[in-house]
Amino acid sequence: MTPLGERIRVLREERGVSQKNMAAAIGVSAAYLSALEHGKRGVPSWTLIQKIIGYFNIIWDDAEDLQRLAESSHPKVRIDTSGLSPAATELANLLADRIGKMNDADIGRVTALVRDMAGKR
C-alpha cells in the first residue's frame, strides 16, 4: 500500500463510503480504485487527485497534503545513479535490497535522516 492509498482508504472509511460508490463518483472503476489503494497503480493524474479532493471536500492544508502524498506514492521507484558517485549507487542498491526487511520504525528513522539531510542543503 502506498501513502496515498492508505490515506484514501482512511478517508473512505471515516465517511462510510464504499470503493464502488467513490469510484463511480470520481469516474473510475472500482477495480482501479482498489488497485490504487493497494499500491498496484502508479501515481494518479493531477486531474484525478483534484476529483478525489473535491469528492471528500478537502481544503487547504489537507488538500496540499493529499497532493504531496500522491507525488511520493509511486509503488515502483527507479533511482538513476548514472553520473553519481559509486557510493550513491551502492546506497541505492542497498536500500532496494534491504527495504523489504526493515520494520516501520527503521524506515521512519531512515526517512527522517534523509529529510533532515536534504533540508540542510
To the nearest whole number, what is the mean pLDDT of the chain?
91
**Confidence band for 11, pLDDT divided at 50, 70 and 90:** very high
Q: Give the pLDDT score at 78.
A: 81
109 and 61 in a single domain? The answer is no
Residue 37 C-alpha cell reads as 489503494
Residue 42 sits in a domain of what CATH number?
A: 1.10.260.40
Query: In Å, what is the CA distance from 112 to each residue of 18, 23, 39, 105?
Result: 34, 34, 22, 11
39 and 94, same domain (yes or no): no
Note the pLDDT tens digit of each residue in 59-112.
889 899 999 888 888 777 888 899 999 999 999 999 988 999 999 999 999 999
CA dist list (Å): 70 to 49, 53, 81, 101: 8, 11, 23, 24
Same structural domain, 66 and 90: no
**How far, in Å, CA of 80 to CA of 18, rounded?**
39
> What grid cell was written down for 82?
548514472
- Parent domain of 101: 86-119
